[in-house]
């Protein structure tokens, strides 16, 4: 008898192989609304050089001396008002997990594909989930930062974090990173449907619709971040799809942080000025957020609504993000299937 030359030696470790991973990644979320959880989360977030580009010697005294002593209480209180009490977690976490579960179901025709989810800040971490996918036999992984409009502070930092993990792996999986899909027709149609569906539940019509995107400092844009242009294009395509004029539809930027100038027009100032100038009815949506979160549920649906009413406005409505809706999942599935081409 001759030995089989292809047989593995008896002491060879078992290696799983032949699978493709899809990792959905969103921004992150604190584990709880208490001071310690909030501080841990904000510390990880605000020490990210892609988020705060100031030099360390200028930023750290402010961060550790002031921001991390005051902001955890303030933001913790805001989180409490929008916490998903059923699951004891933020909605961003609930929706991201649901998106992952639903994506797995939608890809049932691709038995070699594994779907998982992670957060850039907090848990589950990107590194842990890449390792878990690799351990399951994923030799190729699609990294999907859940941001329709690329920005260095969001998409790039997700990719950086993933490659930080890969830098420590002896046997790396092959990687694809998903680019922006700000002008994808399925995405624009899903947004338009969500606007029309939501407005059809009201007994009034808005005089103006605001598409409010998270801002970035103006200096980042001037240094070459394309985010502003992607937001403007999404806004224009959505306005055209809805058949609205430039008077009826506006792109604005929210969530300013720190003393610098950010992208304009600012959402909070616009809402206030519209109300003061006699606009009585507005609707606001957040096309840049794949899931509702603090920035949409608290800053817009609560704070902006209050400001509008306080300044003389009468009707305000917040149009929910696509979240784990059928239309929202259609968008994510389309992007994932495109990025899997040639791999499955």
Ligand X SMILES: C=CC1=C(C)c2cc3[nH]c(cc4nc(cc5[nH]c(cc1n2)c(C)c5CCC(=O)O)C(CCC(=O)O)=C4C)c(C)c3C=C
Residues 228-287 that bind Fe ion (CB under 5 A): 229
Q: x-or-dash pattern for ligand X, window 148-177, by CB under 6 A?
A: ---x-xx-----------------------
Total residues contacting ligand X by CB under 6 A comes to: 24
User: Closest separation between CB of residue 214 and Fe ion, Å?
Assistant: 5
User: Closest separation between CB of residue 229 and Fe ion, Å?
Assistant: 3
Chosen from ligand X, Fe ion, none, partner binding at 229 (C-beta under 5 to 8 Å by type): Fe ion
Any known ligand binding at 318? no
Strands of 281-285's sheet in order across: 249-254, 208-214, 281-285, 315-319
Candidate segments 134-142, 181-189, 263-271, 289-297, binder of ligand X by CB under 6 A: 289-297
b/e map of 147-162 (b: 16 or more CB within 10 Å)?
Answer: bbbbbbbbbbbbbebb
Cβ atoms < 10 Å from Cβ of 85:
7
Q: Is 51 in the site for ligand X (CB under 6 A)?
A: yes
Residue 318, classed as helix, strand or coil, is: strand
**Residue 222 has what DSSP assignment?**
H
Q: x-or-dash pattern for ligand X, window 62-101, by CB under 6 A?
A: ---------x---x--------------x-x---------
From first CA to last CA, the distance across the chain in angstroms is 39
Q: Is 223 in the site for Fe ion (CB under 5 A)?
A: no
- CA dist., res. 35 & res. 13, Å (int): 45
- What are the C-alpha distances in Å from 335 to residues 23, 291, 314, 321, 322? 13, 16, 39, 18, 15
| Three-point CA angle 324, 192, 24, nearest 5° | 30
User: Closest separation between CB of residue 204 and ligand X, Å?
Assistant: 29
- What are the C-alpha distances in Å from 61 to residues 39, 54, 69, 186, 317? 16, 12, 12, 45, 40
Q: Determine which residue in the list 95, 117, 144, 227 makes contact with ligand X, applying CB under 6 A.
A: 227
- CA dist., res. 19 & res. 83, Å (int): 36
Any known ligand binding at 214? yes
> In the complex with ligand X, which residue's Cβ is closer, 19 or 39?
39
Q: Is 266 in the site for ligand X (CB under 6 A)?
A: no
Residue nearest to Fe ion (CB): 229
Written as six digits, the tokens of 92 are: 């961003």
User: Closest separation between CB of residue 28 and Fe ion, Å?
Assistant: 10
Chosen from ligand X, Fe ion, none, partner binding at 90 (C-beta under 5 to 8 Å by type): ligand X
Q: Is 8 in the site for Fe ion (CB under 5 A)?
A: no
- CA dist., res. 344 & res. 335, Å (int): 14
Residues annotated within a binding site for Fe(2+) = 214, 295
Name the residues that contact ligand X, by CB under 6 A: 27, 29, 42, 45, 51-52, 71, 75, 90, 92, 147, 151, 153-154, 214, 216, 227, 255, 257, 288-289, 293-295
Name the residues that contact Fe ion, by CB under 5 A: 229
């Amino acid at each position: 008898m001759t030995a089989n030359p292809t047989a593995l030696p008896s002491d060879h470790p078992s290696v799983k192989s032949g699978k493709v991973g899809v990792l959905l990644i969103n921004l992150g979320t604190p584990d709880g609304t208490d001071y310690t959880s909030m501080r841990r989360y904000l510390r990880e977030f605000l020490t990210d050089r892609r988020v705060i580009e100031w030099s360390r010697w200028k930023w750290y005294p402010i961060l550790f001396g002031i921001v991390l002593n005051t902001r955890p209480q303030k933001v913790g209180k805001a989180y409490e008002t929008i916490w998903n009490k059923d699951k004891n977690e933020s909605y961003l976490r609930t929706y991201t997990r649901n998106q992952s579960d639903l994506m797995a179901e939608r890809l049932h025709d691709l038995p070699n594909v594994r779907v998982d989810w992670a957060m850039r800040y907090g848990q589950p971490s990107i590194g842990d989930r890449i390792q878990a996918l690799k351990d399951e036999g994923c030799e190729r992984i699609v990294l999907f930062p859940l941001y329709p409009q690329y920005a260095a502070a969001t998409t790039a930092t997700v990719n950086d974090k993933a490659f930080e993990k890969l830098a420590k792996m002896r046997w790396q999986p092959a990687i694809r990173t998903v680019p922006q899909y700000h002008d994808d027709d399925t995405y624009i149609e899903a947004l338009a449907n969500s606007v029309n569906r939501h407005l059809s539940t009201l007994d009034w019509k808005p005089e103006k619709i605001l598409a409010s995107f998270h801002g970035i400092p103006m200096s980042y844009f001037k240094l070459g971040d394309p985010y502003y242009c992607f937001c403007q294009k999404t806004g224009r395509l959505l306005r055209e799809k809805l058949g609205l004029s430039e008077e009826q539809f506006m792109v604005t930027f929210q969530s300013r942080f720190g003393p610098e100038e950010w992208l304009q027009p600012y959402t909070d100032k616009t809402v206030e000025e519209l109300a003061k100038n006699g606009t009585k009815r507005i609707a606001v949506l957040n096309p840049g957020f794949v899931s509702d979160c603090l920035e949409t549920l608290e800053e817009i649906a609560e704070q902006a609504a209050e400001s509008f009413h306080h300044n003389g406005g009468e009707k305000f409505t917040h149009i929910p993000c696509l979240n784990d809706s059928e239309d929202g999942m259609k968008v994510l599935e389309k992007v994932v299937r495109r990025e899997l081409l040639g791999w499955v």
